[in-house]
Each structure stands twice: as structure tokens, then as C-alpha cells.
Amino acid sequence: MFNNSTQKRCWLFQNEEILENMRTEANKKFQTKVLACGKLSPVALLEPQEEEVLRKYYEKRLLEFCSAFKPIMPKSVVGTASMYFKRFFLNNSVVEYHPRTIMLTSVYLACKVDEFNVSSSQFVANLWESPAGQEKALEQILEYELLLIQQLNFHLIVHNPFRPFEGFLIDLKARCSVVENPEALRKTADEFLSRATTTDAGLLFTPSQIAIAAIHFSASRAGINLDSYLTECLMLKDNNECLSKLVEVIRCIKTLVKKYEPPKPEEVNLLKQKLEHIHSLDLGIVTSLKKRKGYEEDGTISKKSKVEEEEWSDDDLADAIFMYLSLQQIRSYECKEN
């Protein structure tokens, strides 16, 4: 359940300022490493606001890739992939790890975790690449998969707003006479949830809060007042404090979605050129990917990891076991396909 999840315990933050500070720290940390090698000037690197533009661009690309994916990808997989991408770049710079590779690896891992069984060949077939390009992309995805898992602290279960959204619709049908046809709210609410995915809403609010905000937004657009539902059906009539907090949360989520600005194409193109130039250089500061992933020289898994000093809860253990079983299942599926 969400209340006992690693998502609530480790990946929900108090405000946007905390997220901004984390991303700025990741940027500055890698800048310091690069400048120490003396091969680049500060002007050649990306500032935090420039990294933000590229993150937004590749988040948009992630959603477009998932939308065009064949077979049709479940919404839960899309939401999970998006959260993996956002969580990864809270503590890492796009200058150090190319966001396109992390984007594809996030989607690939989300397919496994959410049991959307597609083979690796099926997955890369969705890329607009030559066979050689698809093979290279798959190699990169497999190389970065463990790194991504480690950077997520092995917290792989993501609770998305889609399930509570369906629950609210069912509840509206059963107990809210104000809304004659709750299904009429679905289209606008779905669009709201899609836009919310491009924001940091999932790092700031619970899935149920995002879901009720989507319902409330759609109802408002349709000229329906849901105050009676909030007070009567959700039993907040006699709890003014909780009601006030919920109303404020809904307002904050709506504002967050409304103020989102997609990156400008001309700015993206300039920053992509800058990023590609940096990634093409041998800066002499990047250790081998195997070492980054936790491998030793002899090819065995390193015992050291980012979470070695953390005490694992039952939920952490469940995440790890779930991931192991999912990997075994997908590998079995791929063997049958081949």
C-alpha cells in the first residue's frame, strides 16, 4: 500500500525548492569534476536552468515514445518510466549521463517492473533506427539498466494516479448524485493527468491527491461543483482542517500543471549541440561504466552500493524480490520468443 511504500518514505518532497536544490547540487558537483581536469571552461558547460530545458525535452520525448509504442503501452508503465527518469536526474547531471539513454532505459525497466512483457527486440523495434542503430541502443540500455536501478536505490515500485482515478470515478457513480455521468469527466481528466506527468507533481503529491485534482479540474470545466462530494462522500464535512488542506492541495496541483511551459525548440537545438559536444569529449574523469554500475575488475558484482549503509525495510526487500522475479519472467519470455 502507498502509505507503507518507499515512494512515500523516500521520493515525496515538501516543495519545489528542495527539488531545485538537489538538481543544482548534482549539476555543480559534476561541473567541479569537469573543471578540475582543465579541459573545458565553465562557459562550455550547462547551467542548471539549461539542464532543466533538456530534462523537459527528453521527458516529452519519453511520453511520445510510449504513446507511439507497439503494442499499446499501459498508462501505468508510462507513469512508472517517467518517475524513474525524474528520480534519476534528481541526483545526476545530464552532462554526465546522456538523457536519451536514461530515457530509454527507464522505459525498458518500467516494462519489466510493471509486467508489460515485450522482448528486447520488440522494444528496440519501436525506435526509428537502422538495425545497427537498434542493436547499439539495446547495448546501451542493458549497460545502464543496473546503474539506473542503483540510482533509484532499488525502489522500483511506483504508485501512479491512474488506479485511484478509476476508484474515484466508481465512487462518483455510486455515491454522488451531483454528477449524472461521471464517465463524461474522463477525457478532460485524462488530459490533465497526462500534463501532470510532465511536471514534478509525482515528486510532490500523492497519487490519490493528483487523481482527485484531475477529477476536480474536469468537473470545473464541465460546470459541475464537487463541494458536496468532498464534504459528504469523502466525509470531510466535520473536519475543516482536512478539507482546507485538500482544497489547497488541489489548487497547488492545478497551478503546477497550468504553469508548466514546454521547452522552446530553438533553445533545445542549441543545448543539444552543446550536450553532444561535451559527450563527444574524453574528459578523463569518467570511470568505466562497469565500475559505475558496481562491477569490479574481475566481472563480479561489487559488494559496495549506494544503499549499503541504509537499513532495508520490508518494503525495500519486497521491491528487490519483485524486481528479481520480474527479470526472471521477462528473460524466460525472451527465451521463448527467440
Distance CA(113)–CA(323), nearest Å, equals 6
Name, of 66-70, 129-133, 242-246, 299-303, the range with top average pLDDT: 66-70
Q: Which residue has the higher pLDDT, 224 or 306?
A: 224
AA identity, residue 16: E
pTM: 0.84
- Greatest Cα-to-Cα distance within the chain, rounded to the nearest angstrom: 68
Q: How many CA atoms, within 13 angstroms, populate the side-chain half-sphere of residue 125?
A: 7
* Tens-place pLDDT, residues 73-105: 999 999 999 999 999 999 999 999 999 999 999
- Say what the alpha-carbon torsion angle 274, 279, 283, 284 is, to the nearest 10 degrees: 170
* Tens-place pLDDT, residues 97-107: 999 999 999 99
Is the predicted pLDDT of residue 239 greater than 80, yes or no?
no
Q: 134 and 104 in contact (C-beta within 8 Å)?
A: no
Q: 113 and 50 in contact (C-beta within 8 Å)?
A: no
Rounded mean pLDDT of the chain?
85
Distance CA(257)–CA(263), nearest Å, equals 15
Distance CA(231)–CA(176), nearest Å, equals 11
